């Protein structure tokens, strides 16, 4: 009875959270993976209470639950790397995990089930790594809180559930474990609803919102101009006090003199260099300069310098890698990705166009 009660409570809270997310009309197009994650968790909790004997219906019920690890990874990537498409090899891993899991559900081979568990853990782990990797550079306070207080807790709980399922598939389930599972699930669901409905009602909208998309006719140069105009407008709308103005002047002076060239520069280190507190600098760059990610703020200066140097005939002999390392990148791959987002062409193509042979 207690298991059914807590399971029902968790399912009801998940439906409430899904309804709250669906109401955010501006973000509906950005929420499918989160909603899929919630729907999968809903069916996973409800599944033990269903006693259907039809194997096809069982498979249809189980299918959304099989998508949970992949949906978690895709959603965390969407949340943290909003300007980068999900990698193709990631889709391949998700498809492989789903195929192995489906084959295991159909009992095609006894070794498929133990093979599927590492894949599940790998996908969930990839999501957690994505959350943690971008935590330091994230400038949106609501999104940082959402990661720490909610998503990391849920991701860690998913790891525990997968490990427990694997263990108890070979050993008897101790008395009270199903009820404990239902209690923990309802607690997490309650925490999610409390966060989304009361403590931080705009957390998801703020976390998933992105900069306005450029119109199809925009050129790379006009995108830069639009960004600068948006920054100026933001500053006009949010007047700075004396301390913030002084910090902004110091920040601009520091960056104009190459402060962005330091490899691996973090916002904490930059705050120390400017003699400021980290949270004040975060708020200044996010709320007054309009940047959601510290790396994107650095990329603005780095790509500006790279563009000038790639178009300079006197530096035509320098390899692209040398320029990338000079301006603060650790390797060529992140430089190429950031450069292509700005100019919609690779650094080599940009140089070839500006410096025809």
The whole domain housing 249 covers 220-354
Identify whether the C-beta of residue 101 lies closer than 8 Å to the C-beta of residue 120: yes
Domain boundary among 176, 208, 240: 208
Query: Which pLDDT band holds residue 52 (cuts at 50, 70, 90)?
Result: low
Only one residue has tokens 């790509």, namely: 303
292 and 194: one domain? no
How many other CB atoms are found less than 10 A from the CB of residue 24? 16
Tokens coding 106: 């159909």
194 and 244: one domain? no
Task: Give the separation between CA 269 and CA 267, rounded to whole angstroms.
Answer: 5
Task: Give the separation between CA 255 and CA 285, rounded to whole angstroms.
Answer: 13
Has residue 214 been placed in a domain? no
Has residue 188 been placed in a domain? yes
Average pLDDT for residues 220-231, to the nearest whole number? 44
Q: pLDDT for 90-100, tens place per residue? A: 999 999 999 99
87 and 157: one domain? yes
Does pLDDT of 228 surpass 70? Answer: no
> 134-138, 301-305, 313-317, 335-339: which has the minimum mean pLDDT?
134-138
Average pLDDT for residues 279-295, to the nearest whole number? 87
Q: pLDDT for 240-283, tens place per residue? A: 778 888 988 999 999 999 999 999 899 999 999 999 998 889 88
Round the average pLDDT of the chain to a whole number and report it: 80
- What whole-number percentage of the chain has pLDDT above 90? 25
Has residue 215 been placed in a domain? no
Has residue 184 been placed in a domain? yes
What DSSP element (H or E) covers 111?
A: none
Tokens coding 61: 């019920």
Query: Which pLDDT band holds residue 290 (cuts at 50, 70, 90)?
Result: confident
Domain boundary among 208, 230, 257: 208
Has residue 202 been placed in a domain? yes
Question: Alpha carbon 89 to chain centroid distance?
Answer: 17
- CA distances in angstroms from 355 to 256, 313, 323, 351, listed in the order given: 26, 7, 16, 6
Is the pTM higher than 0.85?
Answer: no
Query: What CATH code is carried by the domain that includes residue 241?
Result: 1.10.10.60
68 and 154: one domain? yes
Q: What are phi and psi of 262, to 5 degrees?
A: -70, 125
Query: Who's near 266: CB < 8 A, 6+ residues apart?
Result: 136, 137, 294
Q: What is the pLDDT of residue 224?
A: 46
Domain boundary among 208, 241, 261: 208
Does pLDDT of 48 surpass 90? Answer: no
Q: What is the DSSP letter of 216?
A: T
Q: What is the DSSP letter of 84?
A: S
Closest CA to 220 of 315, 284, 310, 285: 310
How many other CB atoms are found less than 10 A from the CB of residue 174? 9
Query: Which pLDDT band holds residue 133 (cuts at 50, 70, 90)?
Result: confident
152 and 93: one domain? yes
Has residue 99 been placed in a domain? yes
131 and 250: one domain? no
Average pLDDT for residues 124-151, to the nearest whole number? 79
Does pLDDT of 174 surpass 50? Answer: yes
Task: Give the separation between CA 284 and CA 271, rounded to whole angstroms.
Answer: 11
Phi-psi region of 192 (alpha: psi -120 to 50; beta: other; left: phi over 0): alpha
Residue count of the chain, please give it. 357
Question: Total structural domains in the chain?
Answer: 2
- Helices 332-343 and 294-310 pack at an angle, to 10 degrees, of 80
225 and 201: one domain? no
Q: Looking at per-residue confidence, does 215 or 260 come out higher?
A: 260
């Amino acid at each position: 009875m207690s298991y059914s009660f807590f399971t029902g409570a968790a399912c009801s809270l998940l439906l409430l959270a899904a309804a709250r997310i669906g109401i955010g009309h501006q973000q509906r197009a950005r929420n499918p993976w989160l909603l899929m994650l919630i729907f999968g968790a809903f069916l996973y909790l409800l599944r033990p209470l269903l006693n259907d004997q039809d194997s096809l219906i069982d498979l249809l019920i189980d299918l959304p639950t099989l998508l949970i690890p992949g949906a978690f990874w895709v959603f965390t990537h969407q949340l943290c790397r909003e300007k980068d498409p999900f990698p193709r090899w990631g889709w391949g891993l998700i498809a492989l995990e789903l195929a192995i899991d489906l084959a295991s559900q159909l009992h095609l081979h006894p070794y498929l089930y133990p093979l599927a568990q590492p894949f599940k853990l790998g996908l969930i782990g990839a999501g957690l790594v994505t959350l943690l990797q971008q935590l330091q550079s994230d400038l949106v306070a609501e999104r940082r809180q959402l990661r720490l207080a909610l998503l990391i807790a849920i991701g860690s709980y998913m790891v525990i559930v997968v490990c427990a399922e694997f263990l108890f598939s070979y050993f008897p389930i101790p008395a009270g474990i199903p009820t404990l599972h239902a209690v923990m699930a309802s607690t997490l669901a309650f925490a999610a609803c409390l966060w989304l409905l009361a403590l931080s009602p705009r957390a998801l909208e703020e976390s998933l919102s992105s900069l306005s998309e450029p119109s199809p006719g925009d050129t790379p140069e006009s995108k830069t101009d639009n960004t600068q105009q948006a920054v100026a407008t933001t500053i006009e709308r949010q007047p700075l006090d004396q301390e913030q103005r002084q910090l902004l002047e110091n920040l601009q002076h520091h960056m104009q003199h190459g402060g962005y060239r330091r490899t691996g520069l973090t916002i904490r280190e930059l705050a120390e260099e400017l003699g400021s507190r980290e949270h004040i600098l975060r708020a200044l760059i996010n709320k007054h300069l309009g940047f959601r990610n510290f790396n994107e703020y650095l990329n603005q200066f780095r790509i500006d310098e790279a563009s000038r140097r790639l178009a300079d005939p006197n530096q035509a002999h320098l390899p692209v890698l040398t320029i990338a390392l000079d301006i603060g990148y650790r390797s060529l791959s992140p430089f190429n990705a950031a450069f292509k987002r700005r100019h919609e062409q690779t650094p080599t193509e940009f140089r070839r166009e500006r410096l025809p042979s």
